[in-house]
Structures are given as C-alpha cells and as structure tokens.
Amino acid sequence: MPKVTLSDGARLHYQQIGEGPDLVMVHGLTGNLAVWHLKIIPMISHRFRTLTYDLRGHGYSDVTPSGYAADDMANDLLQLLDALEIERPAIVGHSYGADIGLYFAYHHPERISELIAVEAALPAMIHIRNRDDWEGWDYWADVLERSGMPVPPERRSDVDYLLRASLDLPKKWGPLNGLPRNPKPFLRLLDETSVASDYERVGALTLEQIPTISTPVLLMYAERSAFISTHDYLNAHLPNARSIILPRTDWGHFGPLEQPEVVADHILASLADHELATEAVGE
C-alpha cells in the first residue's frame, strides 16, 4: 500500500495506474480514491498515467487533528506531486476536491496544466450556503425523505443533523451513493478533528482572487445542482473557464458515481482539446 510522508508527518495513501501524460484525480469529503476507480479510471487509464490518492483523514491516509482547510490540502497535493516527481499534471477534482484544485491553481499555476472542477462548492461562497433559503437544504431533505428518513422542519438547514442522518441510512446506488458505506471513520473525523470548521475557511482564495487564476478550467455541474450559484460565479469571473452542464440526476452532486460514463467522456474530450491547443501554440 504505497504512501508518501508529508512534512508534518502525515502519510497519504495513493495509487498510480496507466501510461501517458500525468492526470491527478482528487475526491471530495466523505469519499476516498475508490470513487474514481469504480468506473472512471478503467475508462481513461489507457490515455493517462493517473494518480489518485486519499485526502488526509480519508481512506487509508492518516487522520490528523487539523490541516483540512483547502489551503492546507493544496499544500498536501504539492508535496505529493514533488515526492512522485510529477511536474505539471492535469487535475480533476470533485466537490471539495474541485475546491482543492482551484486553490492549487491559485497557489501554484506553474504546476498545473488544466483543471476539471466537478461540482466545486468553494469556501468563499459559504455565505450563500449558510442561508436558510439555500436550495441545497431542500434537495438534501427531499433525498432523505424519499429514502425513508423524515426531516423535522426545524432541522432542514442543520448541516450536522442532515449529514449524520445521511450516514445512518443503508447505502445503495442512488442519491446517497457518495457517502461512505461505513460511517464510523467519517464520524470520527467530524468528532475528533477540525474538518468541519476547516471546510468553511476561506483562506487565500477569496472571491476577489478568483480572476487571478489563469489556468484553463472546465466547470462541470449537473442541471439544477445545489451549487449552481458557485458555477455561475466561477464561470463569470475565471478568465479561462468553460462550462458543461450534465443531465439532471436524483441528487446531482455525485456525478462521478451517478453518471460516470458521461463524466469520463467529458474528461477525455476536454484534455484532448487542451492537448491540441497546447500543441498548436507550440508550433
């Protein structure tokens, strides 16, 4: 089980497969590298040398008391790339993994060729998600209720309640398939680390800094995504952004699991287009 030890002593578990240009795939909170290996890696590994890894606190990586803010996670990624001598990969991130990709592009533009951001939420947009009328609360409560878990009206915008209720449900392919099948490790993460507060920490990538990101970014969101406001802001303010809206699904946020073939096709097409554009510039 290969691991890289970071400067603070934490060990990150990773897997590397395939041959070709380097591609790094970053999962979101509650997930692990298996999110990519279930369907997407077999569809793209013939074209790329693909690196997947477990974020700190997830999968087989070490659980640390702190270090879960997007700035910290971007630094973890930099150290992992340095250790594996990966110079300038393309990066695909889902959810918080997409946030990490944006922070990495902000801090280290020379170390990333392209970013594919699937359902980025972005800490700087937390003011929208903290409102009681954020559409995501209704989506989440609806999924729980259709899965047999009624949500009291006073709990419909209580993220801790909704997350713990989701973790208590039997896991199946469907709207909650992005959550861990064994909830105990993630509950430990919630109860014993700073992940909940770190997730909301804006850090270096404020809204004002978004236009300074020069990396080509493909934004990938589902129709009626709860995070569509983040899509709209990034699409309007990133100087080198393109956008793809995926078909609507039950939950929408878990595209790599709900519609992996569609996501993989867009990844391949985007990276092929970027490769051709880079070659044309070099001619």
**Sheet of strand 3-5, all strands in order from the earlier edge strand to the far edge:** 3-5, 11-17, 49-53, 22-26, 90-94, 114-118, 217-222, 241-246
Among 72, 90, 79, CA closest to 203: 72
Confidence band of 179 (pLDDT split at 50, 70, 90): low
Q: 213: Cβ–Cβ under 8 A, 6 or more apart, which residues?
A: 102, 105, 106, 109, 238, 239, 240
pLDDT at 193 over 50: yes
Structural domains in the chain plus CATH codes? 3-132+199-282 (3.40.50.1820)
**Predicted TM-score (pTM) of this structure:** 0.90
pLDDT digits (tens, 9 = 90+) for 271-283: 997 665 455 444 4
Mean predicted confidence (pLDDT) in 185-206? 91
Q: 238-271: per-residue pLDDT in tens?
A: 999 999 999 987 666 888 988 999 999 999 999 9
111 within 8 A of 81, measured Cβ to Cβ: yes
**What percentage of the chain reaches a pLDDT higher than 70?**
90
57: left (phi over 0), alpha (psi -120 to 50) or beta: left
Note the residue count of the chain: 283
Per-residue pLDDT tens over the stretch 42-63 = 999 999 999 999 999 999 999 9
Instruction: Indicate the pairing of strand 22-26 with strand 90-94.
Output: parallel
88: pLDDT strictly greater than 90: yes
Residue 248 · residue 221 · CB < 8 Å:
no
**Owner of token pair 């393109």:** 242
- 211 neighbors 238 (Cβ within 8 angstroms): yes
